[in-house]
Structure 1
Amino acid sequence: MKRFRNVCLSLLALFILSSAGGYLYFKRAFKAPLNQLVIPEGAYQVPFIWKADSLNGKASPNAAMLLPVTVPGCSKIFYMQFDLGAPYSLVYKGKLKAIAERTSGVTIQETESGAVLKDFRFKVGSMDIRAEEVNVLAYGNETINWADTASIDIIGTLGADVIDRKVLVLNYPQALMQFSDEVPTAIAAEAVFTTLAFEERRVIIPAVINQKETQVLFDSGSSAFELLTDRETWLELAKNKAAESITAVNSWGNTLTVHSIASDKNINFGQTALPLRNVHYIDGTTFMQRTLMQFSGMAGMVGNTLFLGKVIVLDTKHRRFGIVK
């Protein structure tokens, strides 16, 4: 599962970007870099698998979405986590060093700003992707079980740059994604659409929560939280007499406390209402983070758990978000 500290960083970036003063001051710090991915035209269906994990001993069967990836010169299927909370894709140094020993098409270059791969070519399912340059994160070991074709070796993260100016149909029941240039006709006829913002390659969706118009960040890299919000909203959405669950997590060496509680309220996206079964807020965040959240106009972040059982459409080309009826 995506490290919890990355969830907090993703939220902080959004709150800063969407607050008036914070945007002006931090615009450069949180500006997404140029998109280095070259994505082919056409429609490509890619199956995904779920990676299970746990948070303080609590099992989560849908902790992360993994997409199958192949690299020229290697017959083995690798995986990348699909994480729309990340504005750009990256690869893990440990696994890439192991792959580089098997193929001539992978060469890690050290630069002043860090390690990179140039002209890196790979396939996500049957979709050919070329990264003119991709960052290499110093993460993970160099162990790959080449003999075990069923082993799950995660070599990086596929971020929101892969859906830039594209359409993604995310079919949770069938564990299937479709990347295309336009919304498929059959899907368009069945989906109910609302608007979508793609500020700095972050997916922001208008929503109505507890009869209040607001916005939420959609992060496919976070499955632990149905809705992560502030304490005031959490109290408003809590089910009467529901018992609170408290979990301690580590974020950049600091202990944060996640408060979870059952809810019987809905979150509305356009004309579509989805039930909220659980809501969460974090204790232990800094004053700056709390202040930015209060003044950003954001209600928080939603993850995969909210949409399990649904088919959703992210059309960044025409800036719209849809849920299939």
Structure 2
Amino acid sequence: MKKKIGYTLLIILSILIIIGFIGVRKFNTALFKEKPNHLEYSFESKPIYFEWTGDTIGGFYEPQVAIIIPLKIEGLAHHFYMQFDTGSPHSFIYEKDLNSLRSIGMDINEVIKDDARYVEHFDFVLDGNHIKASMIKILQNYGHTFDKNDSIGRIGIGTIGSDFIGNRITAIDFKHQKIQLFDNRPKWMTSLPKFKPFDFTGRRIMLPVTVDNKDYEFLYDSGCSAFGLITTKNRFDKYTNGNTKEVNYDAKSWKSSIPIRSKKTDKLVSIGNANLKLKRVSYVDMYTTLQPLITPFTKIGGWLGNQPFNESTLIIDTKTEEFTVIKD
């Protein structure tokens, strides 16, 4: 009888391992597969100043929920903006906002390529930078409607994703809240700390990070503005003080809601040539028992947000796949 129970448990465990292996492989393939980049645009390499936007989530006010960049369209008095989100491999214009732009008189054509819809041409201004773009992907059934009289409130019409910084050098100065794009490294970058390699497979920014003398690859996601590091429950416990108050709320991710558990921390990490404070460590309160089993087989050691860089400048060269961090 004991042998039968043992064999049954062994079979169940084997099935779970097989299912887990298949699931992890699908996860890695979906996240890191190469994606076509049809986006093209011209720019003037002027500083683009951004703003932090705050929100109350589950009774807790978070002052840095997202990085938003004011956007102007010639002939319109509306206060548009786009979110800067390197966690998204595509830049988007939202379909509902696109339809509203058309309804107030803009002539915007679209094309279909690789079974996806794109805006053929779209000209706009990001803080003095005149952007002439083509092939911006359309995110269906997303966004908000507005009319010609909605010129007081802010209107988010899209997302600037990692395709926007592809084949570019991007300097993100978090302290002074500005982003600057370059086609080639300017001379002033020659005196910076040595650039180090990172992985940009699938347009995911995988930065090498050292924590407690252990090396990881963290996915840098500027859309995770409120977080320092999102990791597993066991690392969360290791990197934070057990006596520190835990903050629990549901974070928005596109159309989904994710249960997040967070704590403040003084934990130092090495990113590039800089030692930075994580400031906040979090974990997703879902499948916590499976995380230690699955995580070692994924390429992601965690999701790195903006909090560690708040007093620094992060420079990402996607041409050479190298980066550096300048502490202010």
> What TM bracket, shorter-length normalisation?
0.7 to 0.9
Could you list the runs of 5+ residues in structure 2 that have no partner in the other structure? 1-20
- Name the structure 1 match of 2:180: 178
Q: Give SS of 2:42's match.
A: coil
- Name the structure 2 match of 1:47: 49
How many residues align? The count is 306
Once the two structures are TM-superposed, the CA of residue 240 in structure 1 deviates from its matched residue by: 5.5
- Name the structure 2 match of 1:9: none
Q: Is the 8 A contact 1:84 1:219 kept in 2?
A: yes
Once the two structures are TM-superposed, the CA of residue 77 in structure 1 deviates from its matched residue by: 4.3
The match for 2:295 among 280, 293, 296 is 293
Q: Is the 8 A contact 1:114 1:136 kept in 2?
A: no
**Residue 280 and residue 156 in structure 1: after superposition, are their counterparts in 2 closer, same or farther (change >3 A)?**
same
Q: Is the 8 A contact 2:118 2:135 kept in 1?
A: no
**For residue 140 of structure 2, what is the amino acid of its counterpart?**
L
Could you list the runs of 5+ residues in structure 1 that have no partner in the other structure? 1-18
Q: Which moved more, 1:178-187 or 1:288-297?
A: 288-297
TM-score by length of 2: 0.81
The match for 1:131 among 131, 134, 142 is 134
Once the two structures are TM-superposed, the CA of residue 248 in structure 1 deviates from its matched residue by: 4.6
Structure 2: how far apart are the matches of 1:187 and 1:315?
Answer: 11
Structure 1: how far apart are the matches of 2:326 and 2:51?
Answer: 21
Once the two structures are TM-superposed, the CA of residue 44 in structure 1 deviates from its matched residue by: 3.0
Q: Is the 8 A contact 1:73 1:103 kept in 2?
A: no
Once the two structures are TM-superposed, the CA of residue 113 in structure 1 deviates from its matched residue by: 4.5
**Residue 36 and residue 70 in structure 1: after superposition, are their counterparts in 2 closer, same or farther (change >3 A)?**
farther
The match for 1:61 among 60, 63, 67 is 63
Q: Is the 8 A contact 1:67 1:79 kept in 2?
A: yes
- Name the structure 1 match of 2:143: 140
- Name the structure 2 match of 1:167: 169
Once the two structures are TM-superposed, the CA of residue 179 in structure 1 deviates from its matched residue by: 0.7
- Name the structure 2 match of 1:307: 309
**Residue 106 and residue 292 in structure 1: after superposition, are their counterparts in 2 closer, same or farther (change >3 A)?**
farther
**Residue 253 and residue 183 in structure 1: after superposition, are their counterparts in 2 closer, same or farther (change >3 A)?**
closer
Once the two structures are TM-superposed, the CA of residue 103 in structure 1 deviates from its matched residue by: 3.4
Q: Is the 8 A contact 1:105 1:120 kept in 2?
A: no
**Residue 287 and residue 51 in structure 1: after superposition, are their counterparts in 2 closer, same or farther (change >3 A)?**
same
Structure 2: how far apart are the matches of 1:283 and 1:245?
Answer: 12
Q: Is the 8 A contact 2:92 2:136 kept in 1?
A: no
Structure 1: how far apart are the matches of 2:105 and 2:290?
Answer: 47
**Residue 311 and residue 134 in structure 1: after superposition, are their counterparts in 2 closer, same or farther (change >3 A)?**
same
- Name the structure 1 match of 2:284: 282
Once the two structures are TM-superposed, the CA of residue 94 in structure 1 deviates from its matched residue by: 1.7
Structure 1: how far apart are the matches of 2:113 and 2:195?
Answer: 44
- Name the structure 2 match of 1:10: none
**Residue 310 and residue 242 in structure 1: after superposition, are their counterparts in 2 closer, same or farther (change >3 A)?**
same
TM-score by length of 1: 0.81
Q: Which moved more, 1:228-237 or 1:63-72?
A: 63-72
Once the two structures are TM-superposed, the CA of residue 241 in structure 1 deviates from its matched residue by: 3.3
**For residue 79 of structure 1, what is the amino acid of its counterpart?**
Y
Once the two structures are TM-superposed, the CA of residue 189 in structure 1 deviates from its matched residue by: 1.8
Once the two structures are TM-superposed, the CA of residue 282 in structure 1 deviates from its matched residue by: 1.4
Percent identical pairs in the alignment equals 25
Q: Give SS of 1:66's match.
A: strand
**For residue 186 of structure 1, what is the amino acid of its counterpart?**
W
Structure 2: how far apart are the matches of 1:73 and 1:236?
Answer: 54
Matches within 5 A, 1:157-306: 157-239=159-241, 241-248=243-250, 257-285=259-287, 291-306=293-308
Structure 1: how far apart are the matches of 2:104 and 2:274?
Answer: 49
Structure 2: how far apart are the matches of 1:250 and 1:34?
Answer: 27
Q: Is the 8 A contact 1:44 1:127 kept in 2?
A: no
Q: Give SS of 1:97's match.
A: helix
Q: Which moved more, 1:130-139 or 1:69-78?
A: 69-78
Once the two structures are TM-superposed, the CA of residue 74 in structure 1 deviates from its matched residue by: 3.2
Q: Is the 8 A contact 1:42 1:181 kept in 2?
A: no
Once the two structures are TM-superposed, the CA of residue 277 in structure 1 deviates from its matched residue by: 2.3
Structure 2: how far apart are the matches of 1:175 and 1:154?
Answer: 19
Once the two structures are TM-superposed, the CA of residue 133 in structure 1 deviates from its matched residue by: 4.9
Once the two structures are TM-superposed, the CA of residue 146 in structure 1 deviates from its matched residue by: 3.7
